[in-house]
Chain A
């Protein structure tokens, strides 16, 4: 039977595409419902087509304020985690030192810890110290959980680097600073960029740890969480759709650029 053999041959492809559909279905719903005009407080049922929310994305009190808080925290957390994480990664790959195992497990444990535990325990620390919960406590928490991911990403890249390139630079009378800036950093850059991108995404989207340590500061995920209880404005979907589109365009353009560069080189 040709149909059966055709199906058998493409079973993996069909199953894989079904999974891809499962992954993308919610995004389709979010996009479609950004053009909805719901009758009640919640935007879960299709009523009428409308572009009202797209014309006024900040029309809901507190929404764009929370977005700006989230962006600021994500930028600073990315910066902090990338600098600290890159330093650790270089130390781990390039140097021998004592207590290496302990350092490795201190890096690994935050990634193997449920977020509730990290958020709750950090809250007990802040409560015991009498710290004022808000922007700074969120930032501290975000740098903490992004750090390990940066270390992992940068470590992988630096490990695969040929040490002879730096030796060559030194042989050509480059000083340590110059070697680092002109040779080491450019080679490590993709790993650092990957770590930074991951940090930004993790920080921007974090809800569980933030919820414990935010006090009265409202980040974008916390705004969405609150609106799930009070009523979901269509503008949430507009922001979600816009972020998805920006991400896809950004990645496609960067792929196009690297693809073209690769072809020219070939």
Chain B
């Protein structure tokens, strides 16, 4: 037991060193890391291995599955469900763009224009999290109801006719169409865009704006040449935090969509839990994972912010 009377460690370096080499603590980092990493290896990494093995098995629920290196499952699964894959990517991309367009002004407002209201607005952005997202998503059924004010307004402005023509809505309805699903996805992941945007905007030195103004830059130019480039880390992590969960989501499509808006998450879920075709479900899940990791890697490389982690 170390006490106050214990002698100080011998040869304590007087000059501040970045990483004091403690002989006694040589194994300390490994003991600190061990339990948590073990948890992640057993319950995150190992399941992925099991899933990879399941995806190349053949057999049936009754007789059991055997690894037969049946890679054709991947091709069969993809050729059968590519529309759902495509739809997931499109919906997630649309929701991400909408989140950026809607979220940026709010993040900007909180960072630069809110004054003493800043904390209150922050609370209002975060507080909805504490109401279950399923309840809040169900509320969109009321908001977008067929005889609700929003559908009425869109109808009388002839906007629904246009979106029907584009295939975004169907007839006089918004519910059970792609628009409703994208609206729900945008709503659900908007805070994940706003918070990182706010964090990077808040770090910008306000004097840079003044300097740009002094150099005769108009507000729009200041935004384009100073503010937006400096907020890029927030834009990148915000788009990732929105796109990744949106692409794998099946809740919005299930609650607000129809069979025509099924995303790949819906397929994986029903293949696993209802159809119980484990190899197909595992293959689909693996394709989704590879696709998203691939896209994320390319995106991070191209945007040049690799110090996100």
Contact = CB atoms under 8 A, between A and B. Distances in A.
A180 B5 CA distance: 17
A128 interface: yes
Interface stretch (A14-22, A48-56, A57-65, A183-191): A14-22
Contacts of A117: 248, 268, 285-286, 288-289
B32 interface: yes
Interface string A238-250: 0111011011100
Nearest to B109: A16
Contacts of A25: 139, 143
B157 interface: no
B11 interface: no
A83 B247 CA distance: 31
B102 interface: yes
Most A-side CB within 10 Å, residue of B106, B278, B288, B293 = B106
Contact of B33 (A29, A87, A125): A87
Interface stretch (B73-81, B119-127, B163-171): B119-127
Interface in B105-146: 105-110, 113, 119, 121, 123-143, 145
B160 interface: no
B136 A124 contact: no
A112 B247 CA distance: 12
Nearest to A251: B123
B304 interface: no
What is the size category of the interface that chain A forms with chain B?
35 or more
Given A27-B136, A205-B132, A241-B131, A12 B33 contact: no
A112 B293 contact: yes
Given A120-B282, A120-B285, A121-B50, A26 B36 contact: no
A76 B265 CA distance: 28
Contacts of A173: 4-6, 8
Contacts of B134: 207, 221, 224-225, 228
Given A29-B143, A115-B245, A175-B4, A95 B12 contact: no
B309 interface: yes
Interface stretch (B40-48, B202-210, B228-236): B40-48
B272 A110 contact: no
Interface string B253-264: 001000000001
B50 to A, nearest CB: 5
B191 A23 contact: yes
Contact of A124 (B28, B107, B278): B278
A103 B29 CA distance: 12
Given A27-B136, A106-B45, A255-B119, A178 B2 contact: yes
B19 interface: yes
Interface in A175-217: 175-178, 201, 204-205, 207-208, 211-212
B29 A97 contact: yes
Interface string B142-168: 110100000000000000000000000
B298 to A, nearest CB: 13
A107 B40 contact: yes
Contacts of A22: 102, 187, 190
A122 B47 contact: yes
Contacts of B25: 95
A44 B145 contact: yes
A71 interface: no
Nearest to A247: B130
Nearest to A113: B289
Contacts, number: 273
A205 B127 CA distance: 13
A17 B194 CA distance: 13
A220 to B, nearest CB: 6
B132 A240 contact: yes
A60 B278 CA distance: 35
A17 B32 CA distance: 45
Given A84-B36, A112-B293, A104 B309 contact: yes
A89 B139 CA distance: 39
Contacts of A243: 130-132
Interface in A1-22: 12-13, 15-20, 22
Most B-side CB within 10 Å, residue of A88, A147, A237 = A88
B132 A124 contact: no
B72 interface: no
A44 B141 contact: yes
B119 to A, nearest CB: 6
Given A29-B139, A88-B36, A114 B245 contact: yes
A26 B190 CA distance: 13
B135 A122 contact: no
Interface string B266-298: 001100110000100110011011001100100
Contacts of B131: 27, 30, 240-241, 243-244
A109 B45 CA distance: 9
Interface string B13-30: 000100100000100111
8 contacts: A12-B108, A27-B139, A87-B33, A110-B44, A115-B245, A121-B282, A125-B50, A205-B133
Given A29-B142, A95-B19, 5 more contacts: A22-B102, A25-B143, A45-B145, A106-B40, A228-B255
